[in-house]
Amino acid sequence: MDGIQRIVRVLESIVRVPSYSLLGVAGNRIVYLSTAEGVVSLWSMNSKGGDRRKLATEVHGVAPVVPESNYVVYTRDVTRGHELHKLFYIDARGGEEKLVADTPLMRIFGIGFDGSRIVFTGATAEEIALYLAKLDGSWEKLYKLDIMAFVTDIEGKYVVGFGNLRKDPRTFELFIYNLETNEFKVYTPKPGSQNKAPVIRNGKIMFESNYEGKNRLYIYDPESDQLEKLVFKHSDYEKYDPVEHDSYNWTQDGLVWAVGKKNGRSKLFLDGKEIKTPEGTIHGYPVFIKDKVLVAVSGLLKPPRVLEVNIKKNKVKTLIDNKLPKEIEKSLGEVKFVKYKSFDGLDIPMYIALSNEAGKPGPTVVYVHGGPWSEVRDVWSISIASLVASGYHVLAPNFRGSTGYGDEFRILDIGDPGGGDLEDVVHAAKWGVENKIADPEKIAIMGYSYGGYMTYLAMCKHPEIWRCGVAGAGVVDWEEMYDLSDAIFRQFIDVLFAGKKELWRERSPITYVDKVKKPLCIIHPQNDTRTPLKPVLRYMNKLLEKNKTFEAHIAPDMGHVIVKMDDAVKILLPALIFLERNLK
């Protein structure tokens, strides 16, 4: 009982630590997201970090904030986790939220806002489309999309976004929609290149592209059809040589800022000059106010703080601090970044979080991120912090297909999910043993979403490596998931498998139920529409028929996305209790 009591105490302490992510300035209020009251909520504050006002709760997505408007536009799931959204807006100074327009229920996954007009991409069961809505309640469907695409910005007559517009799963192109002529133009500077996240100002479109090799920023003029590479005044940016960008835009003065990233950490640049911030990751967007910039920064085992940086004096001031309880802080050890060789010689980047509560070698969890087009970064993680504080070393590989290491690395899993990426995860465990971090008799695998899928597959394809496994919100049957998915997730599966439907059965864990040898903990949200529960229930029946050792926890009234910290507890508490019983 003592072990379980400590688990509860540790988990309660960590989920109470609030997150912060800055979004920008609306009018004269700084808008941000926070879990300060246990739910992902929209807040605003003054430029000094004071006069904090909660605006809206259970927020899913937020449109880019514009200084010219006091309004903030956001989405909320109105179906208890089924991820069917409505658009709302609220004054950043406070007041009552209002429905933007009475649109049909749909999954909204990209929003742009110019102060009066909202553009968004949404998916119903039947189709993906580009929509326009106005604050007066009017709305219209602009264009039906037959591919996976995301709108990012609107200005004047142009709406911009990006996606697999040439129907090549390995490339991204831009789209430029002309509101005056209704023309939908697909643009790429070079066929086969990756072009992402366009933003527009004064009719010029800035975007990230790798068409000349490295991911760099370019300016495209749709009127003249001219393209220029962005050249900065200062050289810090090129010396840093970012692999990708988290975000970029123009300041009110017309200078370009960019958050570049490399090896799981980010840095901020203004016209190419680095603005010094603590090591780790910048959350959300930098907020420039005259000669200062506000940023939220965290590390893998260091909670987010909101900082004010004086650009001229290079001085950092903490506006919102965030401290862990001493007991938790003492248990968290060193964070390391390494690269190791996989089965085919490919270098795989990995973050390691060591526990001061465990010896070396000791009990270790190989933590598999979701996505798969995501990554484990040097950014605060409730899941990883909870594992480390509970006495486990954590190995978090960024397997092939992860973001953050260039597009050539990211597309390596397209057409091969559950293949090379699974071997990368297996080799992470082997690396942990060889480097005397992991006790070979005490290694578990754990993941959520795509990480849950990889856990299921690893437990049946490489049962000899693991003492046990924890699969959260995972995929067990790609064919049934496809049949149950809406338009956007059918497109996701088509892209991930590069149209190779013949692989669906081979790469589905339900095909290999009889090969599961070790205890398995299944955790799944009841209302999940990304990775539906129905196939998992069928998988559980097969485990039962085969007399396999497993336990299952269905999180009631919860969807795939964790919006409430109570939902995080629903996922993590059974996982930690299971590991306590099976790994220590």
Look at the block and give the residue holding tokens 């000669």: 291
Please give the angle made by the CA atoms of 428, 339 and 278, to the nearest 5 degrees: 115
User: At what angle are helices 382-389 and 2-15 packed, to 10 degrees?
Assistant: 150
Report CA torsion sign: 119, 106, 92, 39. negative
Distance CA 261, CA 282 (A): 10
Query: Identity (one letter) of the amino acid at 247?
Result: S
Distance CA 255, CA 292 (A): 14
Look at the block and give the residue holding tokens 């394809």: 461
Active site residues: 449, 528, 560
Distance CA 80, CA 437 (A): 41
Q: Is 212 helix (H, G, I), strand (E, B) or coil?
A: coil
User: At what angle are helices 450-461 and 420-434 packed, to 10 degrees?
Assistant: 70
Residue 378: phi and psi, rounded to 5, are: -80, 70
Strands (E), 485-539: 520-525
Residue 366: phi and psi, rounded to 5, are: -85, 110
Q: Are 219 and 205 in contact (CB under 8 A)?
A: yes
Q: What region, left, alpha or beta, does residue 167 occupy, with left being phi > 0 and alpha being psi -120 to 50 degrees?
A: left
Residue 330: phi and psi, rounded to 5, are: -65, -30
Q: Are 62 and 74 in contact (CB under 8 A)?
A: yes
Instruction: Provide the token pair at 119.
Output: 């553009």
